């Protein structure tokens, strides 16, 4: 397995392969870039087909975290880690502690957070052996209550703000009443997003590989249940992918009938060229690492003095960032993914230039 020649390798600063025989841990930690600060990123646990699939995922995800933090205006770099295994079958407290020890060995260059297949409780187990963990503290809500460190409410709010921005730009509509949205995946983020959209009068179609979960969600938000295969070809205004990545591929890019793609999933494009495929069909794409940055904003501000109003204001700003990207893409005749990448690289280069001039 050649890391440096890997198609997804992008001048990553550090890639660590971690193993603990006693707990069965097999993991990869990728630090993409620390120009803006220590690399923050979630710990994903997934039953990858093999180590090559895990490596490809962690390399892509860590780069996305660099760009996500840069465009969110955070003083953090980008990193990610993946644990190879089925979280329902292979996860244990011993395994999470071993993962914490691996993170601790990096001396703070990487800060771990929750992700697909891990929970706040898993991160608290890691916290027993490393302080380089975030997203576990109880936090106040705007309603005066408290919630766990789970960043999914902030992620959902950011996607909601992003959908409003996309609808305003493409459909010239300031309200979501009657806007047709297909939500793919109703887990912790997708369901919260669906509730926000329903509260604003959007018409919803939902799907999930867990049919029972999808059916229950439909009942709560008065949505229509569709199969995972049907979701792509629905005649809707917005397609919101909120499950796993690579859902925009050769087949789906050609069959989508939505005018907007805006959702919470990471790495929605199977290949960078699929951004062009969407643009050629007049489909507005909200770059995933921009629209789903609410969670990392929530976790990042936890590292400071957490203020719920400051978090909500920062997350709401995702809409303005997307509008800037949409306008620049239209002005320059480029796809939105390319423009977002360029904006992120400009921010990183600006930081490097500042460091060079200070020497």
Which residue numbers are catalytic?
80
Tokens 């730009």 correspond to: 169
Tokens 């993946």 correspond to: 82
> Which residues, 6+ apart, have CB-to-CB distance to 338 below 8 Å?
272, 275, 329
What secondary structure letter does DSSP report for 87?
Answer: T
Tell me the C-alpha distance between 47 and 181, whole Å.
Answer: 30
Torsion of CA 321, 326, 329, 332, to 10 degrees: -90
Tell me the C-alpha distance between 274 and 266, whole Å.
Answer: 15
Q: Give all strands (DSSP E) within 180-312, no chain letters.
A: 180-184, 203-207, 224-225, 238-241, 260-261, 284-285
> Which residues, 6+ apart, have CB-to-CB distance to 25 below 8 Å?
18, 19, 83, 95, 98, 99, 102
Using DSSP, how many helices (H) and how many strands (E) does the chain show?
Answer: 13, 13
Q: Give all strands (DSSP E) within the chain, no chain letters.
A: 14-20, 25-33, 39-46, 77-84, 110-114, 139-140, 146-147, 180-184, 203-207, 224-225, 238-241, 260-261, 284-285
Structure tokens at 65: 């975290």
């Amino acid at each position: 397995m050649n890391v440096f020649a890997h198609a997804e390798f992008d001048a990553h600063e550090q890639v660590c392969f971690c193993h603990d025989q006693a707990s069965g841990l097999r993991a990869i930690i990728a630090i993409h870039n620390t120009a803006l600060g220590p690399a923050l990123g979630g710990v994903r646990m997934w039953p990858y087909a093999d180590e090559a699939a895990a490596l490809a995922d962690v390399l892509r995800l860590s780069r996305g975290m660099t760009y996500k933090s840069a465009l969110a205006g955070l003083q953090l770099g980008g990193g990610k880690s993946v644990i190879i295994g089925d979280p329902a079958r292979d996860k244990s407290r011993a395994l999470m502690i071993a993962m914490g020890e691996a993170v601790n060995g990096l001396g703070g260059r990487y800060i771990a957070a929750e992700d697909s297949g891990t929970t706040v409780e898993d991160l608290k187990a890691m916290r027993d052996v490393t302080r380089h963990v975030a997203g576990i503290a109880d936090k106040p809500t705007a309603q005066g209550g408290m919630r766990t460190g789970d960043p999914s409410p902030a992620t959902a709010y950011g996607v909601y703000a992003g959908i409003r921005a996309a609808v305003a730009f493409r459909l010239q509509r300031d309200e979501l009443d009657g806007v047709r949205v297909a939500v793919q995946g109703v887990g912790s983020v997708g369901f919260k997003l669906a509730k926000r959209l329903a509260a604003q009068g959007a018409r919803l179609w939902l799907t999930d590989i867990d049919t029972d979960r999808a059916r229950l969600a439909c009942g709560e938000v008065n949505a229509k249940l569709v199969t995972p295969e049907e979701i792509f070809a629905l005649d809707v205004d917005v397609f919101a992918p909120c499950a796993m990545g690579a859902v925009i591929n050769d087949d789906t890019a050609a069959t989508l009938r939505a005018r907007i793609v805006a959702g919470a999933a990471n790495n929605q494009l199977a290949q960078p060229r699929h951004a062009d495929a969407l643009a050629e069909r007049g489909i507005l794409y909200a770059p995933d690492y921009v629209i789903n940055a609410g969670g990392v904003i929530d976790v990042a501000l936890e590292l400071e003095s957490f203020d719920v109003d400051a978090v909500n204001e920062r997350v709401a700003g995702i809409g303005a960032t997307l509008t800037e990207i949409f306008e620049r893409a239209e002005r320059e005749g480029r796809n939105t993914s390319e423009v977002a990448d360029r904006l992120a690289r400009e921010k990183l280069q600006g930081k490097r230039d500042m460091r060079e001039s200070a020497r």
